[in-house]
Chain A
């Protein structure tokens, strides 16, 4: 594995959806202002405008929320890979703190 932090997939999704949202929104506004000679069915609802806005909002949210911080993800308390949010500031209820004597998965088993 590379030593650098991995950018979460959600960030890529956010960027692409935001770009699509802007493109579709602009295209929709253009058609609203200059109605086409042959409109699509339900054109009067201006779906491109609203769908473009929706994509922009979703994309913008993911882009900002998962903007790469550049932190190395080897530390469990830092932002883990694949978009999992940091676990900092939240104390595990029991058994999961590092060094806890209750965390002994090899011995603590249940039979299936």
Chain B
């Protein structure tokens, strides 16, 4: 691949950015041809064009914040998964697969599918029928203003933090892979997202997410295809991994989870099942509004449920483009290319390649001009879909759950739409500032896991009790949620407390053992247990406070609680369109996959 044409084009880009020159660019992993650059520029033109085009369709609050509630099941499902399929996911979980083997795939199996199906079959009817705009909005209806405000404020804080780290990670990756200036990457991508989300709101975010879904898949799918061919087939790949790592099990989902000493994460199977499979997963997929908003925008309840089930199918397929490239890195990079990947800190000290570079390295191995541009576009699209998801969810929750109830009630609808547009832009700029918080964390996926544990897992506990238990009281909803948040933050501080003081980077093994039952547990493992304890504490406090406070009368709980909610019949439906049928099929496939790769 030639370097000169890219340098010329890059000089134009950098001159436009006005903050750096190509000469400042550090060494890069990949170089682009003009055709690659054309692919990337076409992508930016397309997403901005869609944003400008959709502006005229978003005049009311319902259009801007809920995309008019007219999405088909497929669009809702694709958007649901695309908002989650950021490049943090693709790069981060590929790196996890290289580092820990097939264990990383749990994030797409037990760590996602049961929760998504639960959302589709059980929780979605409540969200949909009460016609709320957001998850905090449901809390307002079920528990009152205090719970809604706490959820709204905590969600906006979390969203801005996640959005910031997404942005920072993208800029770092572009610097690493292409040598692009970090400020240039941050500003170009964030302004693009701010423009198209502020113009078209959720409608624009959803449209672009569907587009980005296709680009992510088509940009990366060729890597596992060519990699498996090069490795000589699946069995040869597994054999090569086992031969290169004698005495270690990198190719099982469950066989190495019998004891924390058997796997490099230091995790027992109970942590995987109850920490990831219950607390983190159900919290994230069932109550993180970033996810739920996409399917709440469906045109009717059946489309919302089917869209969620479609999302589950698509999620289960993601290991094909995430886990397999990581495993191929284990099988091929070391043995055929003589490259061994190391932790980030070691890579920085020695100038070697880090785990996080496994996907870009596989790209450089297989993708020539044009295809490489598509691969890079897939990564940019991934970052932008994740960022846009956060920005649109932030705009909705800020406007409906913080600004309207607490700052300006009873303004005209147009005022709230204007507020939504402005806070889409402002949210992006605040997020840039928060990106540096991520520097505290050794691993960005761990940072995201911590944030979900702080704010979303307790939210799930409260929402679940609210939907299933009539006796849960408004006071209990608020205090249970707050107790869960404080328990999660308290545990995080506890595991980072050392005799010499607090260190946000280093774990204290003695304290870790009290939470995760073993001093061997790494950040990832201890966070799973921490989330589980926070969830249980939140539920316990909610139940206890309910015992001593007055519940709402049943007349105020209609369409909010199980037993008091009537589902509208949406006409006759053949069996193959029933969400329950497909949820059962997906669950059976999930069990089959786990047995197959046990």
Contacts and interface: CB of A to CB of B under 8 A. Distances in A.
A4 interface: yes
Contacts of A83: 72, 74-75
B237 to A, nearest CB: 15
Interface string A16-29: 11011001100110
Interface in B383-409: none
A109 B226 contact: no
Contacts of B144: none
Interface stretch (B282-290, B344-352, B513-521, B568-576): B568-576
A12 B63 CA distance: 20
Contacts of B230: 41-42
Given A2-B57, A28-B370, A48-B368, A16 B43 contact: yes
A26 to B, nearest CB: 8
A75 interface: no
A40 B365 contact: yes
Given A103-B571, A110-B567, A7 B371 contact: no
A51 B562 CA distance: 50
A93 B368 CA distance: 52
Interface in A2-55: 2, 4, 6-7, 9, 12-13, 15-17, 19-20, 23-24, 27-28, 31, 36, 38-43, 45, 47-48, 51-52, 55
A42 B226 contact: yes
B369 A48 contact: yes
Given A82-B70, A82-B75, A13 B211 contact: yes
Given A20-B42, A23-B39, A112-B563, A41 B366 contact: yes
A88 interface: no
Contacts of B366: 40-42, 47
Contact of B211 (A12, A38, A96): A12
A108 interface: yes
Interface in A37-88: 38-43, 45, 47-48, 51-52, 55, 80-84
A106 B440 CA distance: 54
A45 B566 contact: no
A112 B56 contact: no
Given A7-B53, A42-B366, A47-B226, A17 B214 contact: yes
B60 interface: yes
B368 A41 contact: no
B136 to A, nearest CB: 23
A98 interface: no
A82 B71 contact: yes
A90 to B, nearest CB: 13
Nearest to B214: A13
Identify the interface centre among B72, B365, B366, B571: most chain A CB within 10 Å of its CB. Answer: B571
B264 interface: no
A12 B226 contact: no
B371 A24 contact: yes
Given A9-B210, A12-B46, A27-B370, A112 B571 contact: no
Contact of B371 (A13, A38, A51, A109): A51
B contact face: mostly helix, strand, loop, or mixed: helix
B368 A1 contact: no
B496 interface: no
Contacts of A42: 226, 229-230, 366
Contact of B571 (A27, A95, A106): A95
B214 A108 contact: no
B367 interface: yes
Contacts of A81: 68, 70
Contact of B210 (A4, A13, A93): A13
B566 A9 contact: no
A92 interface: yes
Contact of A9 (B58, B70, B75, B215): B75
Interface residues of A, number: 49
A16 B213 CA distance: 13
A101 interface: no
B570 A40 contact: no
Interface string B203-244: 000010011001100100010001001100000000000000
A92 B368 contact: no
A94 interface: yes
Nearest to A24: B370
A24 B125 CA distance: 45
Interface string B336-369: 0000000000000000000000000000111111
Nearest to A40: B368
Interface string B557-590: 0000011011111111000000000000000000
Interface string B56-85: 111110010000101110110000000000
Identify the interface centre among B63, B370, B569: most chain A CB within 10 Å of its CB. Answer: B370
Contacts of B75: 9, 82-83
B72 A111 contact: no
B531 interface: no
B562 A112 contact: yes
B539 interface: no
19 contacts: A1-B58, A1-B60, A9-B207, A9-B210, A9-B211, A16-B42, A20-B42, A20-B218, A31-B369, A40-B365, A41-B226, A41-B230, A42-B230, A47-B371, A51-B371, A96-B571, A103-B571, A108-B569, A111-B566
9 smallest A-B Cβ distances: which pairs?
A: A27-B370, A24-B370, A109-B566, A2-B56, A108-B569, A112-B565, A96-B571, A105-B568, A42-B226
Given A42-B366, A84-B72, 10 more contacts: A1-B57, A2-B59, A16-B43, A27-B33, A47-B222, A51-B218, A82-B71, A82-B72, A95-B571, A112-B566
Interface of A: 1-2, 4, 6-7, 9, 12-13, 15-17, 19-20, 23-24, 27-28, 31, 36, 38-43, 45, 47-48, 51-52, 55, 80-84, 92-96, 103, 105-106, 108-112
